[in-house]
Amino acid sequence: QGPPVAQGTSTGTTIVGCLYVDGIVIGADTRGAEGNIVADMNCKKIHYIPENILCCGAGTAARTELTTTLISSNRALHDNCTSSPQAARRVATGPHLFTVHPHCSIDKLPYVTMNTGSLAAMAVLEFAFSS
């Protein structure tokens, strides 16, 4: 029979990223909240700049959408004006995972969680993640 299984708890919005040898796995919920009220049950939190660069936003849906659209548009404009598409692989030496905090500090990490559900998600990652 075994020990009782703990019931799931809603912890708010969460974004998780994990680095592995060949890439990165990123996951996010889809709830968009305004205070304690869920305003959008299908909020997009993972945004593509080009196909191989992602930006995720937790608690900043409108700003993240605007910023990634602006970066993507400027990148496309640069590609059209210079006739030489910028390839992320030219500058990248492999998969990288960064987090930018609200006070603008940046961390490069093997795994990261953000927003209100981050403590619960980090507990799971710290227990189960191996490099």
Instruction: Kindly list the catalytic residues.
Output: 13
- The neighbouring-strand residues paired with 40 are 32
Q: Please state, in angstroms and rounded to a whole number, the distance separating the CA atoms of residues 105 and 100.
A: 6
Give the other-Cβ count within 10 Å of 80's Cβ.
9
Q: Are 26 and 15 in contact (CB under 8 A)?
A: yes
DSSP class of residue 14?
-
Q: Please state, in angstroms and rounded to a whole number, the distance separating the CA atoms of residues 74 and 15.
A: 26
Q: Which amino acid is at 43?
A: C
